[in-house]
Chain A
Amino acid sequence: MAEPTAAADGSGGARRANLAPLELHVPEPRYRPGDVVDYSHLEIPPAGRAPRPDETCPASETWPLTLDMIRVLDEDNRAIGPWNPALDAETLRRMLRSMALTRAFDDRMYRGQRQGKTSFYMKCTGEEAISVGCAQALASDDMVFPSYRQQGILISRGYPLVQMVNQIYSNRADPLKGRQLPIMYSARDYGFFSISGNLATQFPQAVGWAMASAIKGDTRIATSFVGEGSSAEGDFHAAMTFAAVYNAPVVLNVVNNQWAISSFSGFAGAERTTFAARATGYGIAGLRVDGNDLLAVYAAMRWAADRARANMGPTLIEYFTYRAEGHSTSDDPNAYRSAREATEWPLGDPITRLKNHLIQLGEWSEERHAAMDLEVADQVKVATKEAEANGILGHGLHHPFHTMFEDVFEELPWHLEEQAAQAIRERQTKWPEWKD
């Protein structure tokens, strides 16, 4: 075999002069900081247009929907079309409140991080409808394998806010004993799996849980969420393949909020097709949904959950939405994208849209909404104060020292016993007065 000759600068080698040089396409988002934003290229179909096949239809009947968008709330704030779930006003108001509570919680925790009460926080502003709508559509004991932006599910399921804050502050009442980064909740009793910081790992795990449920002849299904960015992980392919092969009772969700930290959705393949369209290649059902339309979210998840429960297999759902704030407290979105994107987002704000719908129905008012906002803010404040009594990060009120070494294994092996003794000696050397 000949020695390779092509130089890295392209000067050598066997390039044929009669052929055009190959070009690498590196995706670039449309808008960068300071740019004027124009979303007229986005295809936003009118509400009510997408057909609704039966839950037990062949998967292929859904494939046109993966390139469409299921929308229920129209420009006049009415709920229209075959996907309108026709929920009663009381249910709508409860979901509106869950969204408002989620946003109020995010706002206070974000401030708490800025005030130095914890190291890190992640908001879900603009994406509240996805968590709240899905939680409402699932049975309360269906198992959720979340990513880090589904706090709305925990809140919808009634998980105590104070426990969330205890976890965020890593304090002595933290149910996870101060081991996890803030917001990486785990709530087994609420059907909410331990959140991982490694992306998309929960996707095949949800499929495995669903397979186990089917092995046991259970009736509970599983669901999991990833962002569009982490749908690029191999775990996504593993999950889709296993879900398809075993016809697992699972709903796999891609929250397409357009941004993965500073990388726009083009780096996960959004320039080529939709995320929902990936369902087609695996031969499973797929739906693409207006993620800022709570009624559409609810209707799609309900459809997929009913389908899974009827042994008709998995569904991939893409929620088209926008991450209205930074990825986390650790990044400034103004450094990489135009601030006008959030304000110009053509699908609006999910809370405002449901509020206007309820007002249009004559079931709500601006006054009641303002009063509710005050109530949820107060509810968060009370929970935060209660949690702060248990300590904030770095102020000494944490779980007993020895717990650091527990739960690595069910039983403490000799080498961890030795290391625990070492850690305690170090502590006593540094703070001779220290007790635990």
Chain B
Amino acid sequence: MPENDLPTVVEADARPMNMIEAINDALDIMMTRDPNVVILGEDVGYFGGVFRATAGLQKKHGRNRVFDSPINECGIIGAAVGMAAYGLRPVPEIQFADYIYPGLDQLVSEAARMRYRSAGEFTSSITIRSPFGGGIFGGQTHSQSPEAMFTHVAGLKTVIPATPHDAKGLLIAAIEDNDPVIFFEPKRIYNGPFDGYYDKPSRTWKGQPGGLVPQGYYCTPLGKARIVREGSAMTVLAYGTMIHVAEAVLAEKGVDAEIIDLRTLVPLDIETVEKSVEKTGRCLVIHEATRTSGFGAELSALVQERCFYHLEAPVERVTGFDTPYPHSLEWAYFPGPVRIGEAVDRLLKD
């Protein structure tokens, strides 16, 4: 990932966008720059997607490049593998991450292995966009966070933005990447950052850090974490929605935490993680996904293996519970301020 030849972004040209607008902008830019970029998925064409991420793109770029698909995720991803073998750069949308499982064989056994098994003769330059996570009363089939199972697959990259700014830059980088990328969009923060207090009025991205999105083309490189806030009391490792919840809780508790937005789970920016934990000596891992074998387990193991002699306390994990995401008790499942607050207290106890 060459960082030095990235185009310079003129922040003065930036304008406020929500995450959907930023994603739409990234798709539009990439379709304009590269005639091989095509978009397919359920309801993505004329209607512009159930979350409006592809709004206007069919009209602008034509039905041959942005089109609805049958309700068949195996077919969507399988066709994308064939399109990539031809030389296109398909950007399929899976309407909800919860719907991705029928396409899993095409993703895990085909797209992820194509470069390896054909010794580079065929590649799968595919970016699969999919909204994930809860907090919108989606029930158990519209709220899942299945990122860990994709990080377990050799050959897949997993990317999760936490701001409109990053959503645009990371999506452009993902589309340009020559390997298959799972791009999970935290749908709870499509319209504004969420601090975990579901009973307070929701905010928009307007005026929020990360809500200012530069115009035109820019890349946010894959595999580079973002230090959201520097601090010395503990390192918080998170991504997506949980970045904003962590920020709010730690600010409220007055803890000088270093918060790291991982942005890419594979490849992971281990250097930034190690440097931070070595400095703070304490580490809190947060994700919304279920706990057992979640990506937090991997993070916790890595920190233990690589930073053990710098640790002042056991690594803490705050996660969703090991249940399906319940509809009525959504906020009991969600790893909100109370659960995070408890873990912060445990970490700082001695």
Interface residues of A (CB under 8 A from B): 143, 145, 175-177, 179-180, 184, 186-188, 193-194, 196, 198, 201, 203-213, 215-216, 222, 234-235, 237-239, 241-242, 245, 407-411, 413-415
Task: State whether A179 touches B116 (Cβ < 8 A).
Answer: yes
Task: State whether A213 touches B155 (Cβ < 8 A).
Answer: no
A208-B117 contact, Cβ under 8 Å, with A198-B105, A215-B64, A410-B179: no
The yes or no answer to B109 lying at the interface (CB within 8 A) is: yes
Contact with A along B118-134 (1 / 0, CB 8 A): 11111100000000000
B67 → chain A, closest Cβ, in Å?
8
A410-B72 contact, Cβ under 8 Å, with A186-B119, A212-B86, A215-B65: no
What residue of chain B has the Cβ atom nearest to residue A206's Cβ? B82
Q: For residue A205, which residues in chain B have a CB less than 8 angstroms away from its CB?
A: 78-79, 81-82, 85, 106, 110
A249 → chain B, closest Cβ, in Å?
12
Q: For residue A213, which residues in chain B have a CB less than 8 angstroms away from its CB?
A: 86
Task: State whether A408 touches B154 (Cβ < 8 A).
Answer: yes
Of A143, A208, A407, A411, the residue contacting B120 (CB under 8 A) is A407
The yes or no answer to B83 lying at the interface (CB within 8 A) is: yes
Task: State whether B72 touches A241 (Cβ < 8 A).
Answer: yes
Q: For residue A222, which residues in chain B have a CB less than 8 angstroms away from its CB?
A: 82
What residue of chain A has the Cβ atom nearest to residue B268's Cβ? A415
Q: For residue B114, which residues in chain A have a CB less than 8 angstroms away from its CB?
A: 194
The yes or no answer to B87 lying at the interface (CB within 8 A) is: yes
Q: For residue A186, which residues in chain B have a CB less than 8 angstroms away from its CB?
A: 117-119, 121-122
Task: State whether A235 touches B267 (Cβ < 8 A).
Answer: no
Task: State whether B109 touches A196 (Cβ < 8 A).
Answer: yes
In the bound complex, CA of A237 to CA of B177 (Å): 30
In the bound complex, CA of A210 to CA of B311 (Å): 55
Task: State whether A201 touches B110 (Cβ < 8 A).
Answer: yes
Task: State whether A409 touches B157 (Cβ < 8 A).
Answer: yes
Q: For residue B80, which residues in chain A have a CB less than 8 angstroms away from its CB?
A: 208
A242-B70 contact, Cβ under 8 Å, with A180-B117, A204-B79, A211-B83: yes
Q: For residue A203, which residues in chain B have a CB less than 8 angstroms away from its CB?
A: 78
The yes or no answer to B102 lying at the interface (CB within 8 A) is: yes
A212-B110 contact, Cβ under 8 Å, with A186-B121, A408-B154: no
In the bound complex, CA of A239 to CA of B79 (Å): 8
Task: State whether A235 touches B78 (Cβ < 8 A).
Answer: yes
Of A184, A194, A414, the residue contacting B122 (CB under 8 A) is A194
In the bound complex, CA of A234 to CA of B78 (Å): 11
Of A212, A407, A408, A409, the residue contacting B82 (CB under 8 A) is A212
Given contacts A204-B79, A206-B82, A242-B75, 10 further A-B contacts (CB under 8 A): A175-B119, A176-B117, A204-B75, A204-B81, A210-B82, A212-B38, A238-B74, A410-B177, A414-B271, A415-B270
Q: For residue A238, which residues in chain B have a CB less than 8 angstroms away from its CB?
A: 70, 72, 74-75, 78
Task: State whether A235 touches B81 (Cβ < 8 A).
Answer: no
Q: For residue A211, which residues in chain B have a CB less than 8 angstroms away from its CB?
A: 79, 82-83
- Tally B residues with Cβ within 8 Å of A: 47
A319 → chain B, closest Cβ, in Å?
22
In the bound complex, CA of A211 to CA of B78 (Å): 12
A207-B82 contact, Cβ under 8 Å, with A194-B122, A241-B70, A242-B72: yes
Of A193, A194, A212, the residue contacting B83 (CB under 8 A) is A212
Task: State whether B179 touches A409 (Cβ < 8 A).
Answer: yes
Q: For residue A245, which residues in chain B have a CB less than 8 angstroms away from its CB?
A: 70
Task: State whether B78 touches A188 (Cβ < 8 A).
Answer: no
In the bound complex, CA of A411 to CA of B2 (Å): 11
> Which residues of B from 104 to 159 have beta carbons under 8 Å from A?
105-106, 109-110, 114-123, 154-155, 157
Q: For residue B88, which residues in chain A have a CB less than 8 angstroms away from its CB?
A: 212, 215
The yes or no answer to B204 lying at the interface (CB within 8 A) is: no
Q: For residue B270, which residues in chain A have a CB less than 8 angstroms away from its CB?
A: 414-415
Task: State whether A177 touches B78 (Cβ < 8 A).
Answer: no
B102 → chain A, closest Cβ, in Å?
7
Task: State whether B116 touches A408 (Cβ < 8 A).
Answer: yes
Q: What are 15 contact pairs spanning A and B, CB under 8 A?
A: A143-B86, A179-B119, A186-B122, A198-B109, A207-B79, A207-B82, A209-B83, A211-B79, A212-B87, A242-B78, A408-B154, A409-B179, A409-B267, A411-B1, A414-B267
Task: State whether B110 touches A234 (Cβ < 8 A).
Answer: no
Task: State whether B119 touches A415 (Cβ < 8 A).
Answer: no
Of A177, A201, A206, the residue contacting B106 (CB under 8 A) is A201
What residue of chain A has the Cβ atom nearest to residue B71's Cβ? A241
In the bound complex, CA of A177 to CA of B109 (Å): 18
A193-B85 contact, Cβ under 8 Å, with A186-B121, A198-B110, A242-B70: yes
The yes or no answer to B223 lying at the interface (CB within 8 A) is: yes
In the bound complex, CA of A234 to CA of B270 (Å): 39
Interface centre among A204, A208, A215 (most CB of B within 10 A): A208
In the bound complex, CA of A207 to CA of B117 (Å): 21
B76 → chain A, closest Cβ, in Å?
8
Task: State whether A408 touches B83 (Cβ < 8 A).
Answer: no
The yes or no answer to B304 lying at the interface (CB within 8 A) is: no
Task: State whether B74 touches A235 (Cβ < 8 A).
Answer: yes
Task: State whether B155 touches A408 (Cβ < 8 A).
Answer: yes
Task: State whether B117 touches A179 (Cβ < 8 A).
Answer: yes
Task: State whether B109 touches A184 (Cβ < 8 A).
Answer: no
Task: State whether B78 touches A201 (Cβ < 8 A).
Answer: yes
Q: For residue A408, which residues in chain B have a CB less than 8 angstroms away from its CB?
A: 115-116, 154-155
The yes or no answer to B300 lying at the interface (CB within 8 A) is: no
The yes or no answer to B178 lying at the interface (CB within 8 A) is: yes
Task: State whether A409 touches B155 (Cβ < 8 A).
Answer: yes
In the bound complex, CA of A179 to CA of B75 (Å): 27
Of B1, B75, B121, B267, the residue contacting A239 (CB under 8 A) is B75
Of B110, B119, B271, the residue contacting A196 (CB under 8 A) is B110
A152 → chain B, closest Cβ, in Å?
20
In the bound complex, CA of A408 to CA of B115 (Å): 7
A65 → chain B, closest Cβ, in Å?
26
Task: State whether A241 touches B75 (Cβ < 8 A).
Answer: yes
What residue of chain A has the Cβ atom nearest to residue B177's Cβ? A410
In the bound complex, CA of A207 to CA of B83 (Å): 9
